[in-house]
Amino acid sequence: MAALAVLIGIALACLAGPGFTGHDPERAYPDLRQLPAGLAAQPDAAHLGPALERLAFRMRARLDAVARDGDTLRLTLGSEAGVDRRSLVYLPRSALFGAPEILEDRDGGRGLVVAVPLRRLYFPLGTDIQGRDLLTRCLVAGRISLAIGLATSLVALLIGVAYGATAGFLGGAADAVMMRFVDVLYALPFVFFVILLLVFFRSSLVLMLVAIAAVEWLDMARVVRAQTLSLRERDFVRAARALGVGTPGIIARHIVPNTLGPVAVTATLLVPQVILLESFLSFLGLGVQEPQTSWGVLVADGARAIEAAPHMLAAPALFLIATLVALNLFGDGLADALDPRAD
Amino acid sequence: MIRFILRRLAQAVPTLLAVVTVSFFLMRLAPGGPFDMERPLAPAAMENLRRVYGLDRPLIAQFGSYLAALARGDLGPSFSFRDQSVLDLIARGLPVSATLGALALVLASSLGVGLGVAAALRRGGALDRLLGIGAALTLSLPSFVVAPLLQIAFGLSLRWLPLSGWDGGAPSHLVLPVITLALPQVGALARLTRASLGEVLRTQPVRTMRSLGLPPLRVTRHALRGALLPVVAYLGPLAASLLTGSVVVETIFGLPGIGRYFVEGALNRDYTLVMGTVLLVAALVIALNLAADLACAWLDPRLRVAA
């Protein structure tokens, strides 16, 4: 049940977490690109100097002196043409500093001493190639990945259960034809069709959901059919029929509820498959598109930057793998718990 | 037996026909064409190109002539690789994908079945418990995470193996892709073998053999024959997917296999190349499923009667 706790933890973190990390997932800090993971406050000494140089350049001013006093910086700016006070807005705009306060005006505006509060930013998992907080992005990406995993599995579950229960309950020729159709679909190189669909018609979340659900309902249909075949000869089904319940009623009220055990196991193991397929497609650039992001997208970004910034691969990959492992273990545990023969 | 094979082959025809039809019309419905370049062609040149490749004719006529050519074993010319037929490209890509796939299959099945047997024989032992977690872990390791990690570890840091490329199939270039392909399947196969052998070992015949004092190794050998059925059934589709190449592995390691031709073909709207690769994969899936069923029938005489 540790697996379930991990799952709930990840899901809650993805839902609520982005509000607590202190960063907007889209907010880029151009001065803090590809920061490694760490708990130190940013900007640290190594990043502060270059960031200030860049800002001074943009303000068309010289950086004559920098003094640090706790969380406040004393900057002495100079310019032959006079420091333009309006250009001070660049300081807060960089998101690294607070509002500047002018302390001293030298040589009629050619020198300016300002006090700027230094902000303390935290990037526990580092930043990505554009300087966005990776933790926030991993959590926001998790929302999409988990939502697709759950929604697609639900669609596949509904199709599979309805199809399998109908085929199994009707039996005979209808069953043979319906399951033969499933066999034919099994033989299709479906992943190839999904790729084709997404390449040809601009990829969208809905299209991806439909495409993945169209692949993944087959297992469910087989499981439910096998269960139904044994259920339909049972006495309570005969009793229902004797009481005049119609075929749809029997399937909905008596067959489907009794298949729920194996269905729950199959569905739990379906979710990681769907998430894996989604991140695989997103990795190829065919799935989730910017500005939305998913774990697959982040892993793809990380794989591209793996030499310079290995944390960019590690962070989303750990989220993805932890989720998949937890789902697989939970599914196994569920199967063992529901299997009366388990030792 | 012959009748069983013939019937299965006859059933394959409508499946393949469905594959051809769906992929043909899916591609033609999609926006964009094979001759869309960054700089648009002159209308007259475009007109000529379309006429040469027969794209100016009605869709149904094109479909008909594609099927006619297909019946003769001709997959048509490639649109994006100039002066090359799809058959040439497949003949070049398939050996690459098949080599990788076959090696990965051998590695995954030997390791997976071996671990599964060892775990089943010592139920509750250290290996058995480790396998419970390990199988879930390898199943959850996406190839696109494993591949860059292997590249970093063995290619960049240790410099033992080349990062990517094919180089005529030199063994050192095969190691990392094969491991990446095989790894997720090791866990799956080990779990399957463990569950199946565990069940067989609890059956009456096995207990009888044991009580008659047969040496444990002989008992295991007898039990394994029955226990391998679900494993072999699983190996069929697995072999097909491994032999035809994993799109991701070929992309990351820069290998000129079928999977890469497929993705490039789809991106370039190379209609014939995409159709050819999809058809090849579908045919292989069917053939290997049939092979797996035949192997099952060989393992279990009861299935022969049913078939």
A114 and A88 in contact (C-beta within 8 Å)? yes
Query: What is the rounded average pLDDT of the residues B92-108?
Result: 87
Q: Chain B closest CA to A135's CA: distance in Å?
A: 18
Measured distance CA(A248)–CA(A226) in Å, rounded? 18
pLDDT over threshold 70, residue B193: yes
Residue A25: CB atoms within 10 Å:
20
Is the alpha carbon torsion for A53, A57, A63, A69 positive or negative?
negative
Structure confidence at residue A93 (pLDDT):
67
Structure confidence at residue A133 (pLDDT):
75
Q: Count of residues for chain A?
A: 343
Q: For the segment A150-207, what is each residue's pLDDT rounded down to a tens digit?
A: 888 888 888 888 888 888 778 778 877 888 788 777 766 667 777 777 777 766 778 8
Instruction: Choose the mutation target among A196, A268, A281 for the interface with B, i.e. most B CBs under 10 Å.
Output: A196
A254 and A244 in contact (C-beta within 8 Å)? no
Closest partner residue to B144 among A187, A303, A332, by Cβ?
A303
Structure confidence at residue A343 (pLDDT):
47
Greater confidence (A340 vs B127) lies with B127
User: Is B252 part of the contact surface with chain A (CB cutoff 8 Å)?
Assistant: yes
Query: What is the rounded average pLDDT of the residues B62-84?
Result: 79
The answer, yes or no, to whether ipTM is higher than 0.85 is: no
Among A56-70, B65-79, B184-198, name the one with the lowest average pLDDT: A56-70
Structure confidence at residue B307 (pLDDT):
46
Q: For the segment A254-275, what is each residue's pLDDT rounded down to a tens digit?
A: 777 777 777 877 888 888 888 8
User: Is B285 part of the contact surface with chain A (CB cutoff 8 Å)?
Assistant: yes
Structure confidence at residue A30 (pLDDT):
67
Token pair 């068309």 is found at A60
User: Is B99 part of the contact surface with chain A (CB cutoff 8 Å)?
Assistant: no
Measured distance CA(B142)–CA(B9) in Å, rounded? 35
**Chain A residues with at least one Cβ partner in B under 8 Å:** 184, 186-189, 191-193, 195-197, 199-201, 272, 276, 279-280, 283-284, 296, 299-300, 302-303, 306-307, 310, 313, 317, 320-321, 324-325, 327-329, 332, 343
**Residue A104 Cα distances to A75, A107, A110, angstroms:** 11, 10, 11
pLDDT over threshold 80, residue A51: no
3-state secondary structure of B83: coil
Q: Chain B closest CA to A309's CA: distance in Å?
A: 12
Q: Residue A92's pLDDT band (boundaries 50, 70, 90)?
A: low
Structure confidence at residue B45 (pLDDT):
76
- For residue A305, the chain B residue with the least C-alpha distance is B148
**Between residues 13 and 32 of chain B, which touch chain A (CB distance below 8 Å)?**
14-15, 18-19, 22-23, 26-27, 29-32
Cα angle: B232, vertex B234, B236; to 5 degrees = 75
Of chain B, the percentage scoring pLDDT greater than 90 comes to 1
Cβ contact A188–B19 (<8 Å): yes
Residues of B in contact with A200 (CB under 8 A): 26-27, 29-32, 266
What average pLDDT is seen over chain B? 79
Instruction: Choose the mutation target among A185, A186, A210, A283 for the interface with B, i.e. most B CBs under 10 Å.
Output: A283
Structure confidence at residue B283 (pLDDT):
83
Residues of B in contact with A188 (CB under 8 A): 15, 18-19, 22, 282, 285
Structure confidence at residue A87 (pLDDT):
66
A267 and A216 in contact (C-beta within 8 Å)? no
Q: For the segment A194-220, what is each residue's pLDDT rounded down to a tens digit?
A: 777 777 776 677 888 888 888 888 888
Q: For the segment B46-70, what is each residue's pLDDT rounded down to a tens digit?
A: 777 777 777 777 778 888 888 887 8
Greater confidence (A321 vs A184) lies with A321
Q: For the segment B285-303, what is each residue's pLDDT rounded down to a tens digit?
A: 888 878 887 887 777 776 6
Q: Which residues pair with A65 in a beta bridge?
A: A76
Within 8 A by CB and 6+ apart from B197, the residues are: B116, B117, B120, B121, B223, B224, B227
End-to-end CA distance of chain B: 8
Structure confidence at residue B248 (pLDDT):
80
**Between residues 111 and 140 of chain B, which touch chain A (CB distance below 8 Å)?**
123, 132-133, 136-137, 139-140
Of chain A, the percentage scoring pLDDT greater than 90 comes to 0
Q: Give the global pTM.
A: 0.78
